[in-house]
Amino acid sequence: MQRHTGWVIGCAIGVGVMLLGGTTSGHTAIASRFTYNEHLFPIFQRQCGGCHVEGGVAPMSLLTYDEAFPWTQSIREEVLGLRMPPWKAEDGFGDFANGHILPAHEMDMILEWSSGGYPQGPLDQTPTAPTPTDDWTLGTPTLELTPPEPFTIDASTNETVRYFVLPTDVGGDRWVTGVDVIPGSRAVVRHVSVYIDTSGQARTADDADAGLGFASGFDSAQPIAVWWPGQSAVKLDTVGYALPDGADIVARVLYKKTWITEGQDFTDQTRLGLHLTEDDVSAITHTVLSSPDEPNGRQLAFSHTLDQEVSLLGLLPEIEIEAVKLQIEGVLPDGTRQPLLQIHEPDLGWPTRYWLDGPRVLPSGSQIEVTATLRPGADRETVPSLFAGSAPVRLLLEYTAGTSAAN
């Protein structure tokens, strides 16, 4: 499927503020075959409801007709402009277990409804807006972790990052096969990344900070989970992250207000749900690839040669320079090319882990090739790395050694 046949409509924090009443006058004739009550509500609930819900992290809800119809032109522009975050992967260039794609027929329904009078539909079919629940998406976790008290985001703070140290104390070595997140304050929890710390570094930083948690002093390694509202959590079966006895879990939480929530106080006590096993599974390890500091014309291209056979599981790119496209391919020793990931208009503010829908076995000697095509006169913006990278384009590869994960 090509890009024009599908797109994402979930979690749009940056939807343009263009109210319909400010751009049109008079009555718009009803030309749409589709109505909100019958057709659009199920799409908005499934694709957008993680963020665009009353009290959610997005600045508006789309889950009632009265809330959605003033934004019809903005929704249309965002869909047509292919700007809807947070899922940016090109459909058909790599396949992913946590993909969040808007099917072509649903995209067509949204466009026709938004330009065809945006009818509400039969009043006796008016849907009830759902209430956000605190259910674990992966089922009951093995271990639930919560900061000892709520953290306060005061009225004068619009954006901040806070780290929280969460002891595990499970009485032995374990493997982490899944991580669930339930935000305590859905309106301001924008992003959560989760780490395992065996060095004690996080505890030292926590002790040095007078407040709950700490703001700096932790050199992030490999995140075992990267969460944003509306994403699909992934639970692994035959692979996992080693959790030694006595290790700490560290949660890095990005709090960010919108124009709706600026000037308000919030408290948050985000919960983590860890799925653990004692069974012998293949260990997930990682490699960080970094681009040159300076582009060659409008491209930043770099590659990495694998010195062992691996089963590639996931990709976490970070980019802090304006680009129109990021492309990642695997090149086997015989020259065969495997498409892994292609992103158009990568968004610096939405770091996303792309879990492949199955392990990709890459023999020793294979190369990972990364090419970022930049905008003319591209500016660089410093974006805090989730895995201690500093180059303008960086990539975290997650894999197991050999083919065990693929069997």
Q: What is the DSSP string of 378-401?
A: --B-----SSS--SSEEEEEEEEE
pLDDT 10s digits, 175-186? 999 999 999 999
Whether residue 226 contacts residue 385, with contact meaning beta carbons closer than 8 Å, is answered with: no
Alpha carbons 248 and 211: distance in angstroms, whole number: 19
Beta pairing partners, 266: 153
Pairing of strands 239-243, 282-283: parallel
Domain boundaries, given as residue ranges, for the chain: 3-125, 143-283, 285-406
Q: Average pLDDT by consecutive 10-residue portion of the chain (407 residues)?
A: 38 37 50 90 84 80 89 84 66 84 85 89 87 85 96 96 94 94 92 95 95 90 88 88 95 93 94 95 94 93 96 95 95 96 86 91 97 92 86 95 65
Secondary structure (3-state) at 104: helix
Alpha carbons 244 and 367: distance in angstroms, whole number: 32
Tokens standing for 383? Answer: 């974006």
Query: Among the CATH numbers 2.130.10.10, 2.40.40.20, 2.60.120.310, 2.170.120.12, which is that of 143-283?
Result: 2.60.120.310
DSSP E strands in 266-383: the ranges are 266-268, 271-277, 282-283, 285-290, 299-305, 310-319, 323-331, 337-344, 354-362, 367-374
pLDDT of residue 28: 62
pLDDT of residue 55: 79
Q: Which residue has the tokens 């790599």?
A: 94
Q: Report in angstroms the alpha-carbon separations of 92 from 5, 6, 341, 386, 407.
A: 11, 10, 9, 27, 24
Tokens standing for 240? Answer: 């996992």
Q: Which residue has the tokens 């948050």?
A: 268
Alpha carbons 225 and 352: distance in angstroms, whole number: 10
pLDDT of residue 83: 62
Whether residue 31 contacts residue 116, with contact meaning beta carbons closer than 8 Å, is answered with: yes
Q: Is 198 exposed, middle or buried (0-12, 13-18, 19+ CB in 10 A)?
A: middle
pLDDT of residue 31: 83
Contacting residues for 158 by C-beta, under 8 A, at least 6 apart: 256, 257, 262
Alpha carbons 283 and 238: distance in angstroms, whole number: 9
Same CATH fold, 285-406 and 143-283?
A: yes
Query: Among the CATH numbers 2.60.120.230, 3.20.20.120, 3.40.50.300, 1.20.1050.90, which is that of 285-406?
Result: 2.60.120.230
Tell me which amino acid residue 109 is.
Answer: M
Tokens standing for 230? Answer: 């509306």
pLDDT of residue 213: 96
Alpha carbons 369 and 362: distance in angstroms, whole number: 13
What is the C-alpha R_g of the chain?
Answer: 22
pLDDT 10s digits, 77-119? 877 766 654 577 888 888 888 877 778 888 899 998 988 888 9
Tokens standing for 362? Answer: 């890459």
Determine the length of the chain: 407
Reference 164, options 132, 212, 107, 118; nearest CA is 212
Does the N-terminal peptide bond of residue 346 adopt cis geometry, omega within 30 degrees of 0? Answer: no
pLDDT of residue 51: 78
What predicted TM-score, i.e. pTM, was given to this entire model? Answer: 0.85
